[in-house]
Amino acid sequence: MPATPTMPAMKAPALLLRTSEFIVGLLFGWGLLVSGMTDPGKVLGFLDLAGAWDPSLAFVMGGAIAVGVLAFALARRRTRSFLGAPLQLPQASDIDRRLVTGGLLFGAGWGLAGFCPGPALVAMAAGGGQALLFVAAMLAGMGLFEVWARATARAAPTAP
């Protein structure tokens, strides 16, 4: 692929990585659409355990968990991805206040809106107005968190 003023020449491995990332992203988005995860009504029906519960997303989640368990088991035995890039798995295992608070906020947002970040982006790209509003609110929340985290870091005393 020749270089242009807006796109510099990429080495073949980098182009292969970007192409594979794009294809995997499309596959993931397609899976979210097909499974119904981009439909807030279906998600809220799944979360409504006391009402008209729709258990179909439990099978989607079960399948995703099974694939994830197998993929991480394979990844733990490797140092490089299938395309040769370094493979770095998360090392943190602490359950702290920040993790619990983030999980609670994520769950509350999912339960109130029927969206989580991935499906919201897919639904927004498909023209969903509700998803656009959710993504705007999500980005605003991320920005507010960043401002808060920087202010907290500046105010924290430094160790001698």
Q: What is the pLDDT of residues 69-87, one digit of tens each?
A: 999 999 999 988 888 888 8
CB 135 within 8 A of CB 124: yes
In the structure, what pLDDT confidence band is assigned to residue 15 with cuts at 50, 70 and 90? confident
pTM score of the predicted model: 0.69
Is the distance from CB of 87 to CB of 81 less than 8 angstroms? yes
